[in-house]
């Protein structure tokens, strides 16, 4: 199926994009020039993310600007200026120091999106210990796994989360020196301490120790979509990628108000929900509440959000509910909408034009890459269904494996293969935690293999095909689930689709779709046949699904991604594998 490109005319730009000409910007690009736009620690003591994100603004003309505009679940809101954020993160760094925490020790944070999470994250980076976010909806076992694998010395959490999830783990976590409770007025017995009290006793002056760009800054676990989550280690030098992508993809300008809806428990919520906007000295919106369509529309309007970064799962929920935000709300400040995390169906890009008054810009990256690698830039024509083009400074290619240790770059356009990146960009992960062998295996013949399959068209746009694990081999064809799902999504009844390969003695694998419907549509045989016919007409009988099952909801992980491996395991009656990130309600 083909969706027409969305052209952009300079007349429609509210501000001229930072990246005006793709070819010129790529040709002139150097990481040194990006580094020169950051400040570095005084006296050449290195590069520290928190210095770049907080202190250099706090000590300059942006000091009184709101760094974090926090919106609480109870209706309360608070604004933290860059200057205030510097004082608070200094205090937190001093708290770690007073507790004897050393450089490179891990500090876990298990909290909802409350101000303390952001203070702890940036304070930890200042202190040069390692920030390890834990999604607050994890149950005890995933929390245990991450804290023990990460050798966490400190955990920051709330009384309620501690009682419900961590208390039972304490005996199994001997290396965990202290738990800092964000809402306890006083220290408890044993290892439990009051964070407010420690913060009150700590000095608000702190000198960031020398920080090498290669010092480990963040330990991020992957989303567990394809298996057991892996711990990816990131360094302070990653700030260069965060800054550069903030400039060219998010297109940050001085007065922007930015809202990234991801939770810092996922890499997007840290790289773009904390670091990138603060590196640019703009105002970052943090909403404590999870997806709520009406609340989200109100936030876009009342906070005058100009750049919005969200995910296909949220966009599909708006689509399913039939809500067109721009009709009922004043979104005149909204300039750019971006999406990441899963393939963005063309239908969703087009929905943006109608419902938000703006097309949605898809971009691609993964926990391992630390920042955006391929994107639809604000100045570029959007080809719905495409992830866009590689960032300046990023070399991406479609390759195929030839033998154990070699790959061949596929130069011809429109050929499906492994999506690979040339190693060496600043936010590239430096290892998988306790699994160096697995890390090394990702690098073959001078390329980092991403585990995703894609193709590149003649103009250099990349098109996501599927995860290598999800590819369906049917009658000699390689079918990517994304193409089939996107086609089904184009039918008015379909809210969401997940496609798998089901073993079949005749054709290898049979394409099977699981579909959830929009309200008002009945999951009956007539609709099943109609959908099969609809897909066949557009995809041909070899690629179209042969079986369709209706489901009220598709299984997703807590990051909102459809878990095709679980659809498959359940279909085949196989073990379900690691479910630590599964969204419970599904
Ligand atoms: P795990 O590695 O544990 O299985 P995960 O791969 O979902 O989980 P993340 O690092 O959060 O963990 O997700 C990155 C992956 O998400 C990418 O490799 C890709 O498969 C998918 N993805 C992200 N953005 C896009 C996009 N714009 N289009 C298509 N796929 C995307
Ligand atoms: Mg992955």
Ligand 1, atom 27, residue with closest C-alpha: 364
CA of 168 to the centre of ligand 1 (A): 32
Does residue 387's CB lie within 6 angstroms of at least one atom of ligand 1? yes
Does residue 264's CB lie within 6 angstroms of at least one atom of ligand 1? no
Crossing angle (nearest 10°) for helices 525-539 and 481-489:
120
Does residue 564's CB lie within 6 angstroms of at least one atom of ligand 1? no
Distance CA 138, CA 157 (A): 13
CA of 447 to the centre of ligand 2 (A): 16
User: What is the DSSP secondary structure assignment for residue 579, as one 8-state letter?
Assistant: -
Strand order of the β-sheet with 192-194 is: 192-194, 178-181, 152-157, 106-110, 130-134, 216-221, 231-235, 431-432
Which is the closest atom of ligand 1 to the Cα of 387?
27
Does residue 367's CB lie within 6 angstroms of at least one atom of ligand 1? yes
CA of 275 to the centre of ligand 2 (A): 21
| Closest ligand to Cα 466 | 1
Which is the closest atom of ligand 1 to the Cα of 224?
3
Distance CA 114, CA 182 (A): 10
Distance CA 310, CA 288 (A): 15
Does residue 225's CB lie within 6 angstroms of at least one atom of ligand 1? yes
Does residue 158's CB lie within 6 angstroms of at least one atom of ligand 1? no
Residue 121, domain member (yes or no) = yes
pLDDT, residue 586, reads: 39
The bridge status of strand 192-194 relative to strand 447-456 is: unpaired
Which residues does 549 contact at the CB level (< 8 Å), separation at least 6? Answer: 512, 513, 514, 515
Residue 33, domain member (yes or no) = no
CA of 375 to the centre of ligand 2 (A): 18
- Which helix H or strand E contains 355, and what residues bound it? helix 346-355
pLDDT, residue 125, reads: 99
Distance CA 355, CA 231 (A): 38
Residue 202, domain member (yes or no) = yes
Which of 424, 456, 488 finishes a domain?
456
What's the per-residue H, E or C state across 404-463?
CCCEEECCCCCCCEEEEECCCCCCCCCEECCCHHHHHHCEECCEEEEEEEEEECCCCCEE
Residue 466, domain member (yes or no) = no
Whether residues 140 and 227 share a domain: the answer is yes
Closest-CA residue to 243 (of 36, 28, 461, 13): 36
Which of 456, 486, 503 finishes a domain?
456
Question: CATH code at 319?
Answer: 3.40.50.12780
Whether residues 320 and 207 share a domain: the answer is yes
Does residue 345's CB lie within 6 angstroms of at least one atom of ligand 1? no
| Closest ligand to Cα 338 | 1
Distance CA 427, CA 234 (A): 7
Whether residues 180 and 309 share a domain: the answer is yes
Whether residues 109 and 258 share a domain: the answer is yes
Ligand 1, atom 3, residue with closest C-alpha: 224
User: In the chain, how long is the greatest CA-to-CA distance?
Assistant: 72
3-state secondary structure of 124: helix
Distance CA 23, CA 327 (A): 37
Whether residues 248 and 358 share a domain: the answer is yes
Whether residues 441 and 480 share a domain: the answer is no
Residue 25, domain member (yes or no) = no
Does residue 223's CB lie within 6 angstroms of at least one atom of ligand 1? yes
Does residue 271's CB lie within 6 angstroms of at least one atom of ligand 1? no
Which is the closest atom of ligand 1 to the Cα of 451?
18
Ligand 1, atom 14, residue with closest C-alpha: 366
Residue 144, domain member (yes or no) = yes
> What is the number of alpha carbons within 13 Å of residue 418 lying toward its C-beta?
22
What does the DSSP assignment read for 185-202?
SS--STTEEEHHHHHHHS
Mean pLDDT by 10 residues, the chain (586 residues): 83 91 98 98 98 98 98 97 98 98 98 98 98 94 94 98 97 98 95 98 98 98 88 98 98 98 96 98 98 97 98 94 93 97 94 95 98 97 96 98 94 97 98 97 97 97 94 88 94 96 92 96 97 94 94 92 94 90 69
CA of 561 to the centre of ligand 1 (A): 8
Residue 54, domain member (yes or no) = yes
Beta bridge partners of 215: none
Ligand 1, atom 16, residue with closest C-alpha: 341
Whether residues 358 and 288 share a domain: the answer is yes
Q: Give yes or no for a contact between 221 and 368, defined as CB atoms under 8 angstroms apart.
A: no
Distance CA 8, CA 5 (A): 10
Does residue 362's CB lie within 6 angstroms of at least one atom of ligand 1? yes
pLDDT, residue 1, reads: 61
Does residue 307 come out as left (phi exceeding 0), alpha (psi in the -120 to 50 range) or beta? beta
Tokens 């057991």 map to which residue? 228
Question: CATH code at 540?
Answer: 3.30.300.30
Distances (CA, A) of 227 to 246, 460, 578: 30, 31, 6
Whether residues 233 and 339 share a domain: the answer is yes
Helix then strand then coil, in percent of the chain rounded to 5, is: 35, 25, 40
Whether residues 287 and 349 share a domain: the answer is yes
Whether residues 238 and 203 share a domain: the answer is yes
Whether residues 506 and 398 share a domain: the answer is no
Whether residues 331 and 408 share a domain: the answer is yes
CA of 368 to the centre of ligand 2 (A): 8
Distance CA 177, CA 185 (A): 19
Which residues does 351 contact at the CB level (< 8 Å), separation at least 6? Answer: 315, 318, 319, 360
Closest-CA residue to 293 (of 258, 269, 261): 261
3-state secondary structure of 548: strand
Does residue 448's CB lie within 6 angstroms of at least one atom of ligand 1? no
pLDDT, residue 11, reads: 82
Which is the closest atom of ligand 1 to the Cα of 374?
27
Count of structural domains within the chain: 2
Q: Which range marks the domain in which residue 356 is found?
A: 10-20+38-456
Which of 456, 487, 507 finishes a domain?
456
Residue 461, domain member (yes or no) = no
């Amino acid at each position: 199926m083909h969706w027409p490109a969305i052209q952009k005319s300079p007349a429609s730009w509210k501000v001229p994009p930072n990246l005006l000409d793709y070819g010129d910007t790529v040709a002139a690009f150097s990481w040194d020039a990006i580094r020169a736009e950051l400040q570095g620690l005084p006296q050449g003591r290195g590069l520290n993310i928190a210095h770049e994100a907080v202190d250099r603004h706090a000590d300059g003309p942006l000091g009184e600007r709101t760094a974090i505009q926090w919106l609480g679940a109870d209706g309360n809101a608070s604004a933290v200026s860059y200057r205030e954020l510097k004082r608070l993160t200094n205090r937190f760094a001093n708290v770690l120091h007073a507790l004897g925490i050393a450089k490179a020790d891990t500090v876990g944070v298990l909290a909802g999106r409350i101000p303390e999470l952001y203070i702890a994250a940036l304070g930890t980076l200042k202190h040069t210990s390692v920030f390890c976010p834990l999604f607050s909806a994890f149950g005890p076992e995933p929390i245990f796994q991450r804290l023990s694998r990460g050798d966490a010395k400190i955990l920051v959490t709330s009384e309620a989360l501690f009682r419900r999830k961590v208390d039972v783990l304490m005996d199994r976590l001997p290396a965990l020196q202290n738990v800092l409770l964000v809402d306890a007025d006083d220290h408890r017995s044993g290892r439990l301490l009051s964070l407010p009290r420690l913060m009150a006793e700590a000095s608000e002056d702190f000198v960031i120790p020398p920080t090498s760009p290669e010092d480990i800054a963040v330990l991020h676990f992957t989303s567990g979509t394809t298996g057991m989550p892996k711990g990816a280690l990131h360094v302070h030098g990653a700030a260069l990628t965060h800054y550069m992508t903030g400039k060219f993809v998010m297109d940050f300008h001085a007065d922007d108000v930015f809202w990234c809806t991801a939770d810092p428990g996922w890499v997007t919520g840290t790289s773009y929900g904390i670091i990138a906007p603060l590196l640019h000295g703009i105002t970052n919106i943090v909403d404590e509440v999870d997806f709520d369509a009406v609340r989200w529309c109100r936030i876009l309007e009342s906070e005058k959000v100009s750049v919005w970064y969200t995910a296909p799962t949220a966009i599909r929920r708006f689509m399913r509910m039939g809500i067109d935000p721009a009709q009922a709300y004043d979104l005149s400040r909204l300039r750019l909408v971006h999406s990441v995390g899963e393939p963005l169906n063309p239908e969703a890009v087009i929905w943006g034009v109608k419902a938000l008054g703006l097309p949605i810009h898809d971009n691609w990256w993964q926990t391992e890459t630390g920042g955006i690698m391929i994107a639809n830039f604000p100045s570029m024509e959007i080809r719905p269904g495409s992830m866009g083009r590689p960032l300046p400074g990023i070399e991406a290619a479609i390759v195929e494996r030839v033998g154990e240790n070699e790959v061949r770059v596929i130069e011809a356009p429109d050929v499906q293969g492994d999506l690979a990146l040339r190693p060496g960009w600043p936010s590239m992960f430096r290892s998988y935690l306790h699994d160096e062998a697995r890390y090394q295996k990702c690098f073959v013949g001078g390329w980092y293999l991403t585990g995703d399959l894609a193709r590149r068209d003649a103009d250099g746009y990349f098109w996501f095909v599927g995860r290598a694990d999800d590819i369906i081999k049917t009658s000699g064809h390689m079918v990517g689930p994304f193409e089939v799902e996107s086609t089904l999504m184009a039918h008015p009844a379909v809210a969401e689709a997940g496609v798998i390969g089901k073993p079949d003695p005749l054709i290898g694998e049979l394409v099977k779709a699981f579909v959830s419907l929009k309200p008002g549509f009945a999951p009956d045989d007539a609709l099943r046949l109609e959908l099969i016919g609809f897909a066949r007409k557009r995809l041909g009988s070899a690629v179209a699904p042969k079986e369709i099952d209706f489901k009220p909801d598709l299984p997703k992980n807590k990051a909102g991604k459809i878990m095709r491996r679980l659809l498959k395991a359940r279909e085949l009656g196989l073990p379900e594998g690691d479910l630590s990130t599964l969204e419970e309600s599904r």
